[in-house]
Amino acid sequence: MKFTLNWLKDHLDTEAGLDEIAAKLSMIGLEVEGIEDRAKDLAPFKVAYVKEAKQHPNADRLRVCLVDTGTEVVQVVCGAPNARTGMKGIFAPAGCVIPGSGDVLKPGEIRGEKSNGMLVSEREMGLSDEHEGIIEVAADSEIGAPFAQIAGLDDPVIEVAITPNRGDCLGVRGIARDLAAAGLGTLKPVDLSPVPGSFDSPMIWRRDLPEDAQDACPYVAGRLFRHIENGPSPKWMQARLRAIGLRPISALVDITNYVTYDLNRPLHVFDAAKVKGDPVMRLAREGEEIVALDGETYRLSPGMVVIADEAGPEGIGGVMGGEPSGVSPETSEVFLEVALFDPVRVAITGRRLGILSDARYRFERGLDPQSAVWGAEVAARLILDICGGEASHVVNAGVMPSAERHLSLRPGRVAALGGVEVPAADQTRILTDLGFEVSQSGEKIDVKVPGWRNDVECEACLVEEVLRIRGFDEIPAVALPRQGDLPDAVLTPAQKRVSLARTALAWRGLEEAVTFSFVSRREAAMFGGGAAALRLDNPISADLDVMRPSVLPGLAAAAARNADRGLSAAALFEIGPQYADATPKGQTRAAAGLRAGPAGPRHWSAAPRGVDALDAKADALAVLAACGAPVDNLQTTRDAPSWYHPGRSGALRLGPNILAHFGELHPRVLEGFSLRGPAVAFEVFLDKVPLPRAKDGKLKAPPALSPFQAVERDFAFLVDADVPADKLIRAAKGADKALIAKVDLFDVYTGKGVEADRKSLAIAVTLQPKDRTLTDPEIEAAAAKIVAAVTKATGAVLRG
């Protein structure tokens, strides 16, 4: 919402300056977004007198002018045909910035003649496209007078952001009222008195609305004006409209725009000669079309309100008028429309048609219903003043809806909710200044809400009005009382695990990424997703149109982007949501990671090695360990989903509960993301990791620190190549559970000395006696049990 300082002062009697007004606006909830003080920008440009304009000796079309600026006489070379001796124009001194082009004006020489400045055109001043000649000002203009003043551009423009609840401040008067209440002056009276008509309107309003849509346009008023002239509007009106970014068109159009911005009362005028029969407020019919004032053709649908005549729709109610019945310079009779429309219907209509007009913006926020009455008077006064002619009596249709709302305010509520004591008398004064009718009723203040404040609907709203005008600065800041000396734990155990998983992965050298929750359908399909229920109706692009089934597509795309930048060694992780369906339960949290390229940086001490599935397994196990999963009890199975390499992937599970997948990404997935070379990945499903039982607390059993020497024995077994190592380890562990403390697999060998379909697995078994030192025979006996158990489970043969 834009307005000028002088416009504001039409409604507000104030001594306050621009800065003070701006500061106050922001502090009462009308946030200032910008102030354009054109007098400041245009300060260098002043009225100057052309003492002499003579032909340039070396150029037919140029003149050499001696210009009196009031302080000096300057020579300027000018190409304008209207530059002549004795005229007054606008002089731009060398060094200033030309508004139209943004260029800095430099002193120079044109075909041998010095030129120290410029006589400017309207285009150069950024006012219009006019460049035929230079600006000429009246002969009695004072030399040296600022151009901004001469041109009526010395009125600063203020732009405020109006929140959706404050439709009333989409008119300058509403803003003035707020400022007056906040102590920045007094609200001037506005003349809303009736303008008598001199004849009966030949046109009347009719309403033809179904019973269930009476509120679509509950009331409409109008009157006819005849013998008018629709020339240009007065200069002052044009200047104000231009200042707020509107293009003056004709007196009638400008008047409707002016009233819209001045009093927040949208109006429309029909060229009466172009309306056939009485205008009717009705719902649009299927298939009806209208050419609106913006020149576009809109296809209407039932539910939209139209203003129609016998020929069809002539306007879209509350949104935009129609072109065929619009006014032109030849118009001599107009019919005025001052209507009330249902805000929701206007919003839907505007949204469906894609029209965001000044009228829609105001109607969908709600208007003061009474404005339909005084709007016809205000408009009449301006039309008669500016366009002449005569006005008919007012005609109307429908019933003025009752907008009366009564609320009560307990004065103590301001302190209880607002935290600041405001004397009841001050509360009454503030509400009165804002237009509320206030009366004392026992302990309470009875309040009648003015029609233009449809946003005020409960006691808390009244508290806000009081506090807002009083100023939030008045509220003392108080620390929130502590609920105890020490705060409780902030995170639940499940939330804490997220933090631990993140720390663990970062320590392992993976960089944390945050990628979008939506991916392309193609990417989702590679990870088993893309269901219709998870597709966005209105994605911002086809690449981001479905909720991701896994965190991995985002990481794979990220790795590919990094590879394109020359960073092919990527180690990335993300802890975030994945979506199985659109219900709250369908969203689960995964800690996923991806490694591509060589494992670790190249270094002099070690031969380079590519990442493999077991790097990903180690990452997954690190997350699980950080989350407190019983990692020693996990089984590794070979059943990873389809986006993993079937031979180089697995699942980590506790029985049927799958906690993680890991492995090399499937070559087709790599291809799908244009990833060169293998990449490995893991997904840990954090919600699946069992939580520790709260009742167990933090207590730990004491450790079994045996005083007796542990014994370590190595064994190498030959097994079939397809025997899982895990099976052998478990068999060894199970050979004597009381004695065997741990089994480490330290070598896997194939090649010379081992048959092609066999492999050698070497384990180190630690025997830990608890009550005595082991004797050699006991050690031998244990070793024999281990060999027997492993052989039985895996068909292994002990290597000699």
Partner 1 sequence: MEDLDHLKSSLMDEVAAARDPGALEAVRVRVLGKKGAVTQRMKTLGGLEPEARKAAGQALNALKDALAGAIEARKTALADEALSARLERETVDVTLPGRPAPAGHIHPISQTLEELVAIFGEMGFSVAEGPDIEDDFHNFTALNIPQEHPARQDHDTFYLPPLTPDAARMVLRTHTSPVQIRTMQSVEPPIRIIVPGRTYRADSDATHSPMFHQVEGLVIDEAAHMGHLKGTLIDFCRAFFGISDLPVRFRPSYFPFTEPSAEVDIGCSREGGQLKIGHGKDWLEILGSGMVHPKVLENCGIDSTRYQGFAFGMGIERIAMLKYGMPDLRPFYDSDLRWLRHYGFLPLETPSMVRGL
Among positions 355-414, residues that touch partner 1 (CB under 8 A) are 364-365
- Closest separation in Å from C-beta 283 to partner 1: 17
Task: Pick the closest to residue 734 from 723, 725, 742, 745 (CA basis).
Answer: 742
Residue list 23-62, contact with partner 1 (CB under 8 A): 26-29, 31
Query: Hey, what amino acid is at 443?
Result: E
Contact residues for 687 (Cβ-Cβ < 8 A; gap 6+): 494, 588, 589
Question: Do the strands 570-579 and 511-512 form a parallel or antiparallel pair, or are they unpaired?
Answer: parallel
The smaller minimum CB distance to partner 1, of residues 263 and 469, is found at: 469
For the sheet containing 206-208, what is the strand order? Answer: 206-208, 280-283, 305-309, 312-316, 320-321
Helix (H) or strand (E) holding 785: helix 776-794
Q: With respect to partner 1, which residue has the nearer C-beta, 317 or 650?
A: 317
> Least separation, in Å, of the C-beta of 362 and partner 1?
10
CB-based burial label for 793 (10 Å; 0-12, 13-18, 19+): middle
Residues 6+ apart with CB under 8 A from 373: 221, 400
Closer residue to partner 1 (CB): 211 or 537: 537
End-to-end CA distance of the chain: 92
User: Residue 153's closest CA among 6, 33, 34?
Assistant: 6
Residues 630 and 190: their CA atoms lie apart, in Å, by 79
Site mask for partner 1 (CB under 8 A), range 320-349, x = bound:
-----------------------xx--xx-
Could you give the 3-state DSSP secondary structure of residue 64? strand
Question: Which residues, numbered 112-141, are part of the site for partner 1 (CB under 8 A)?
Answer: none
Name which of 147, 115, 437, 382 is nearest 269 in CA terms. 382
Of 472 and 746, CB closest to partner 1? 472
Residue 419 Cβ vs partner 1, minimum distance, rounded to whole Å: 3
Residue 472 CB, nearest approach to partner 1 (Å): 4
Query: Which residue number, 269 or 551, has a Cβ lying nearer to partner 1?
Result: 551
- Shortest Å, Cβ 279 to partner 1: 26
Question: Applying CB under 8 A, which part among 259-267, 271-279, 560-568, 716-724 lies near partner 1?
Answer: 560-568
Supply the minimum distance, in Å, between the C-beta of residue 570 and partner 1: 6
Residues 473-502 that bind partner 1 (CB under 8 A): 473, 475-480, 482-484, 487-492, 495, 499, 502
Looking up tokens 């066999």 gives 758
Among residues 501 and 761, whose Cβ is nearest to partner 1? 501
Give Cα separations from 94 to 12, 81, 97 (angstroms).
40, 22, 9
> Residue 59 CA to chain centroid, in angstroms?
57
What residues from 501 to 540 belong to the interface with partner 1 (CB under 8 A)? 502-503, 505-518, 532-540
Measured distance CA(770)–CA(396) in Å, rounded: 104
Stretch 583-602 residues interacting with partner 1 (CB under 8 A): 583-584, 586-587, 600-601
Binding residues among 684-723 for partner 1 as defined by CB under 8 A: none
**Minimum distance of partner 1 from residue 314's CB (angstroms):** 25
Minimum CB distance to partner 1, residue 503 (Å): 4
535-554 residues in contact with partner 1 (CB under 8 A) are 535-541, 544, 547, 554
Which of 47, 195, 571, 670 binds partner 1 (CB under 8 A)? It is 571
- The answer to whether 417 touches 460, Cβ cutoff 8 Å, is yes
What are the start-end ranges of the H helices in 610-708? 613-626, 667-672
Orientation angle between helical segments 251-263 and 235-243, nearest 10 degrees: 60
CB of 157 to partner 1, least distance (A): 21
- Closest contact distance (angstroms) between CB of 690 and partner 1 is 20
The verdict on 166 binding partner 1 (CB under 8 A) reads yes
Query: Binding to partner 1 (CB under 8 A): which residues in 437-476?
Result: 458-461, 463-464, 467-468, 472-473, 475-476
Q: Segment 621-640, which members bind partner 1 (CB under 8 A)?
A: none
